Structure 1
Amino acid sequence: MFSELSPMKLLAIAIVAVFVFGPDRLPEFIRNATGTLRRVRAFADSAKQDIRAELGPEFKDFEFEDLHPKAFLRKHVLDGDGLAGLEDIRNALDPWPELGEVAASLRDTAGGGQQSQTPGAVSLAKAAEAPPSTRHAFDPDAT
């Protein structure tokens, strides 16, 4: 939570606190702030204990931190022995096998002019131009 607070930042906060509250009232303010923080923590702990008591004995090992999405996934999707089904999902969503097939068919078609054995392969060979009699004239006034 406070990992990015360097000693210089803490010193700057202390200097600003001395200027804002004054050297006489600063200790009293710190005592009030820590007392309030203790009361909030005690209230949160008692609320957690009340919820655990209401859930019953089957939820005695229930942790509220497990409700965080990352912790939930870590606990339920990732087993102790590794990934549970995640490897199958990763393999199913991997585009490289299909891309390899497409690349191979393109290489076959472009390389030797031979048709690929892959069904549904696309030919990149340039089609012969249509004879002039079957070409449609372009009308610039029509557009």
Structure 2
Amino acid sequence: MGLLVVLLFGPDKLPEIIQNVVGFLRKVREFSDSAKQEVRSELGPQFKDFEFEDLHPKTFIRKHVLDGEGLGIDEIRGALDPRAELSEVADAVRGAARAEENTAPTTGGRTPLSKEAATGPDTYTAFDPDAT
């Protein structure tokens, strides 16, 4: 970049250009500072510690949410963590399974799969050969 400036303007005009750029940057900084002071004075004494950098979204979140008196990062993580809800659901399912085990017929904790155990030896079931 510096080489390009030297080639465009020449080494004899380079000090003058640097002075002009530095003067322009000073005027912009002074204008910005005076605008900030004017806004602060118009807002009143309750905003004397107001910083314009705090209006940036990342800075605002960092200052007011993560480090502030409101919610902290641990509370946000806890609210978004599904493990507590999943454990409640798992406990409810386990409780329902235990209740079903208690009401199921006593066959050693297993469901009978044979026809005799399901229907009994002296009951007759209809057989439809066309259905199979």
The interval holding the TM-score normalised by the smaller chain is: 0.5 to 0.7
1:117 paired residue number: 94
Counterpart residue number, 2:79: 92
Unaligned runs of 5+ in 1: 1-12, 106-115, 121-131, 135-143
Q: CA deviation at 1:61?
A: 0.9
Residue of structure 1 equivalent to 2:131: 133
Deviations 1:44-78 (A, max 9, x none): 00000000110111111111111111211122112
Match of 1:49 in 2: 37
In the alignment, is residue 20 of structure 1 matched against residue 18 of structure 2? no
CA RMSD of aligned residues (A): 3.1
Q: Which residue of 2 aligns with 1:128?
A: none
Q: 1:61 aligns with which of 49, 53, 76?
A: 49
Offset at residue 119 of structure 1 (A): 5.0
Deviations 1:71-92 (A, max 9, x none): 11122112368x7344233122
User: 2: CA distance between counterparts of 1:98 and 1:133?
Assistant: 46
Shift of 1:14: 1.7
Which is greater in Rg? 2
Normalised to the residue count of structure 2, the TM-score between the two structures is 0.60
Return the TM-score normalized by structure 1: 0.56
Instruction: Compare relative contact order (CA 8 Å, sep 6+) and give the higher one, 1 or 2.
Output: 1
Q: In 2, Cα distance between the equivalents of 1:14 and 1:89? A: 49
CA distance in 2, matches of 1:86, 1:94: 12
Q: Report % sequence identity.
A: 60
